[in-house]
Amino acid sequence: QVKLLQSGAALVKPGASVKMSCKASGYTFTDYWVSWVKQSHGKSLEWIGEIYPNSGATNFNEKFKGKATLTVDKSTSTAYMELSRLTSEDSAIYYCTRSDTLDYWGQGVMVTVSS
């Protein structure tokens, strides 16, 4: 069965960066785009962007350009998202999900930005 297993929660200082992972299993990793979605506390969902593992091609929400970097490691079927120059506004849960219908989701990574 399709699974997306994300890395654990992170507590990071303002101004720092954080890199999280999303390990896919149960399907051919290179056949599907992987999207990343942000959910701030008690709020709705925001699409950050997506990456196509086969080519590394990306599409981004303009709001997150310069904030998020998406990469993949095809050898381990793992997608990564790095968030840079963190502020309190980046404190949220971040999900990876398989595109294009966002049909399978990881369990989410809680990122807390605090000094």
Partner 1 sequence: DIQMTQSPPSLSASLGETVSIECRASEDIYSNLAWYQQKSGKSPQLLIYYASSLQDGVPSRFSGSGSGTQYSLKISGMQPEDEGVYYCLQGSKYPLTFGSGTKLEIK
Contact residues toward partner 1 (CB under 8 A) are 35, 44-47, 49, 59-63, 95, 100-108
Q: What are phi and psi of 58, to 5 degrees?
A: -130, 155
Dihedral sign for Cα atoms in the order 3, 98, 29, 49 = negative
CB-nearer residue toward partner 1: 16 or 48: 48
Nearer to partner 1, 62 or 89 (CB): 62
Structure tokens at 109: 């990574």
Give the nearest distance from C-beta 82 to partner 1 in angstroms: 19
The smaller minimum CB distance to partner 1, of residues 1 and 115, is found at 1
